[in-house]
Amino acid sequence: MLNLSQIEAFIAVVDTRGFHDAATRLGCSQPKVSQQLRKLERALGVTLIHRDRLQSMPTEQGVRLIPLARSLLRTAARAKDVVSGHKIVIGASSNIGTYLLPPYVARFSRMRGNAVDLDMRIAGNPEIADAVESREVDLALMEWWDNRRGFVAKRWHQEKMLVIVSPDHPWAKRRSVDRDQLFEQPMIGGEAGTGTSALLRQVFGKSALKIRVGMNVGSTEAVKAAVKAGLGISLVFASAVEEEIRSGLLCGLSVAGFKISKDLFVVFPEDLPADAAAHQFVRMLVKG
Amino acid sequence: MLNLSQIEAFIAVVDTRGFHDAATRLGCSQPKVSQQLRKLERALGVTLIHRDRLQSMPTEQGVRLIPLARSLLRTAARAKDVVSGHKIVIGASSNIGTYLLPPYVARFSRMRGNAVDLDMRIAGNPEIADAVESREVDLALMEWWDNRRGFVAKRWHQEKMLVIVSPDHPWAKRRSVDRDQLFEQPMIGGEAGTGTSALLRQVFGKSALKIRVGMNVGSTEAVKAAVKAGLGISLVFASAVEEEIRSGLLCGLSVAGFKISKDLFVVFPEDLPADAAAHQFVRMLVKG
DNA sequence: ACACGTTACGGCAACCGTAAGGATT
DNA sequence: AATCCTTACGGTTGCCGTAACGTGT
């Protein structure tokens, strides 16, 4: 049977790129790290770390192990909180976690006082999907969910999406833009795996295929910066640009004749007990 | 640091509702289970199992731990497959892959949860032979194997072969046909390289040479369609025509005085590790 | 008395830190 | 020589199976 302290040693070596530093971080002797690694490698039947004088690097197989290893450690670390039931971890995709979640968390904390210790994990939508599946988080607020077995997904919010342009853009003074005009402009893409292209197909049908994504900058903050700099236009959460639109740093437009909004889901395990704190959070979301 | 074998013991007790049965399942002594549980409970600072004379049940905290514990075990079990990077790929000749394999795959998936990523490759018998030799597939289910070096072939199934005719055929009402009558009719041939002609020689000896193959249509689905259309008779897997015979679309006959059945083999590399997921699949096939 | 879990004990393997060894620059 | 990992060694720990011991039916 695999041993978590071996996994911990492996991750320490990966992070510090050295056995000695890994030992320091773990607070143990360096030969112990060597031994743990060797055992793990024998158990798995592969070399995980390429030892090098300058820096020890994971092998190809080691790289494949890393995400699984981190997941194991995070899940194991949660065991204490889970049995106590007093601490819950909420996962959220970047956009949701950044622009929508904070007020809910504040409200929940006020409701429950400090009876419940609340933690958030914000990451990309695909990472959060894995995190809820492996129980690293108790529930997840997501932009897109792929119906994995054993989980419930409920729609809890419908977020309006806005086309944004810089104040120098020809459309800056307009309130809306025609579909065909929109398609002519290349768009700046944000976070991957959030289902935005699926949403566009849903709204515009086949003609959505005409949309060109000129750049993909990975995060909404980066999208906003790129649009402000006049690099192009984009489509983002209304909540994400509320501030900039009010202060005139960005201009938000709708698409004439279309209502573009994204359904947001809360996802949790089917077997989440109804009296768990996490379940109360879900009810708060879905009701109000 | 949490220990996975403690978690394993916990889950075993939860599943079997008893320390003794848990020990049996884990293949260890019962006091060991007690000890593991006590350690886990001390580590988490709570009682996880309510010991009872009749059945041991998880406490409220224990219940909360269950999903996380199962997740940990599943993830840990995946480690080996993940580093290997090889999801299991099962090769199968068309007939086997189409008519026999699916229930086995379903059963294996249930056994192993989603811990193993299973893929199938269905192609002609010769193609599958090459695929297993070049390690494109981890194991192959075949109708015929030419004893290439470095591989093990085990018989895992004996499939009954039926003569099939259309419901309009003079033999339609009969349950069996004489050998000599069979030889008079030209047969429709199916997939090449499946060893059917060798099988016929084995069953009928030299007289099998009298068999004439009037058409060769390449696949069993095509054979069935041709026979239904009254183009001739054929000899196919009983499993392949079960449905049609039940519904009267085809009639199946045996050959009087002969038992025609084809041995099916599972083929895999000699050096396939005994603990590889693919090897477990082989064991499942050969045992049950 | 029986069924089931806990406690006690002892042998043995595994762990882990110190110290020495190797390899590479 | 210096650095970094591996190997060697020995004391200690703790694991685990057998056996004895509660405890409730």
Asked if residue B113 has pLDDT above 90, the reply is: no
Residue B266: its pLDDT value, please? 96
Residue A180: its pLDDT value, please? 92
**Mean of pLDDT values over A236-247:** 95
- Residue B68 has its nearest CB partner, among A45, A69, A135, at A135
Element housing A142 (H / E):
strand A139-142
Q: What's the mean per-residue pLDDT of chain B?
A: 88
Distance (Å) from the C-alpha of residue B22 to the closest C-alpha of chain A?
A: 16
Residue A124: its pLDDT value, please? 92
pLDDT digits (tens, 9 = 90+) for A63-97: 889 989 999 999 999 998 998 888 999 999 999 99
Asked if residue A275 has pLDDT above 90, the reply is: no
Quickly give B44 CA vs C8 C1' distance in Å: 25
Number of inter-chain CB pairs under 8 A, A vs B: 86
Q: Which of residues 23-62 of A touch B (CB under 8 A)?
A: 44-46, 48, 60-62
- Judge whether B81 and B87 are in contact, CB under 8 Å: yes
pLDDT digits (tens, 9 = 90+) for A31-63: 999 999 999 999 998 899 998 878 889 988 888
Quickly give B72 CA vs C21 C1' distance in Å: 40
Evaluated on CA atoms B178, B183, B189, B192, the torsion sign reads positive
Asked if residue B239 has pLDDT above 70, the reply is: yes
Cα distances from B146 to residues A16, A29, B142, B286, in angstroms, run 52, 55, 10, 20
Q: Residue B53's pLDDT band (boundaries 50, 70, 90)?
A: confident
- Residue A72 has its nearest CB partner, among B61, B69, B72, at B72
**B68–A75: do the CB atoms touch at under 8 Å?**
yes
Q: What percent of chain B has pLDDT over 90?
A: 52
Nucleic strand C near CB of residue B18 (< 7 Å): yes
* Chain B hits for A76, Cβ within 8 Å: 1-2, 72
Residue A75: its pLDDT value, please? 93
Residue A11: its pLDDT value, please? 95
Q: What percent of chain A has pLDDT over 90?
A: 67
Nearest to B129 by CA among B114, B150, B113, B108: B150
Nucleotides of D under 7 A from a protein CB: 3-8, 15-19, 23-25
Beta strands in chain B (DSSP E): 49-50, 57-58, 88-93, 118-123, 139-142, 151-165, 176-177, 187-189, 213-216, 234-237, 251-255, 261-269
Asked if residue B137 has pLDDT above 90, the reply is: no
Q: Is B101 helix (H, G, I), strand (E, B) or coil?
A: helix
Residue A58: its pLDDT value, please? 92
Interface residues 29-68 of A with strand D (CB < 7 Å): 30-31, 34-35, 37-38, 51, 53, 56
Tokens representing residue B73 in the block: 């075990």
Evaluated on CA atoms B90, B93, B98, B103, the torsion sign reads negative
Asked if residue B203 has pLDDT above 80, the reply is: yes
Nucleic strand D near CB of residue A259 (< 7 Å): no
A259 has a chain B CB within 8 A of its CB: no
Asked if residue A282 has pLDDT above 90, the reply is: yes
- Residue A65 has its nearest CB partner, among B61, B67, B82, at B82
Distance (Å) from the C-alpha of residue A38 to the closest C-alpha of chain B?
A: 15
pLDDT digits (tens, 9 = 90+) for A17-38: 999 999 999 999 899 999 999 9
Nucleic strand D near CB of residue A18 (< 7 Å): yes
- How far apart, in whole angstroms, are the C-alpha atoms of residue B50 and residue A70? 32
**Mean of pLDDT values over A178-193:** 89
Minimal-distance CA residue of chain B relative to A272: B64
**A80–B44: do the CB atoms touch at under 8 Å?**
yes
Minimal-distance CA residue of chain A relative to B5: A1
Minimal-distance CA residue of chain B relative to A77: B2
Q: Residue B179's pLDDT band (boundaries 50, 70, 90)?
A: very high
**Mean of pLDDT values over A133-160:** 94
Q: Residue A102's pLDDT band (boundaries 50, 70, 90)?
A: very high
- How far apart, in whole angstroms, are the C-alpha atoms of residue A246 and residue A241? 9
Minimal-distance CA residue of chain B relative to A276: B64
Asked if residue B271 has pLDDT above 90, the reply is: no
Tell me, what amino acid is at A51?
Answer: R
- Residue B1 has its nearest CB partner, among A5, A64, A271, at A5
CB atoms within 10 A of CB A260: 19
Among B83-87, B193-197, B201-205, the minimum mean pLDDT is found in B83-87
Q: What's the mean per-residue pLDDT of chain A?
A: 91
A147 has a chain B CB within 8 A of its CB: no
Cα distances from B200 to residues A110, A223, B141, in angstroms, run 81, 70, 21
**A135–B64: do the CB atoms touch at under 8 Å?**
no
SS3 content of chain B, % helix, strand, coil (to 5): 50, 20, 30
Which residues, other chains included, contact A21 with Cβ-Cβ below 8 Å and sequence gap of 6+?
A: A12
Nucleic strand C near CB of residue B48 (< 7 Å): no
Residue A23: its pLDDT value, please? 92
Q: Which residue is nearest to nucleotide C23 (CA to C1')?
A: A53
**A3–B3: do the CB atoms touch at under 8 Å?**
yes
A270 has a chain B CB within 8 A of its CB: no
Residue B47: its pLDDT value, please? 92
Asked if residue B63 has pLDDT above 80, the reply is: yes
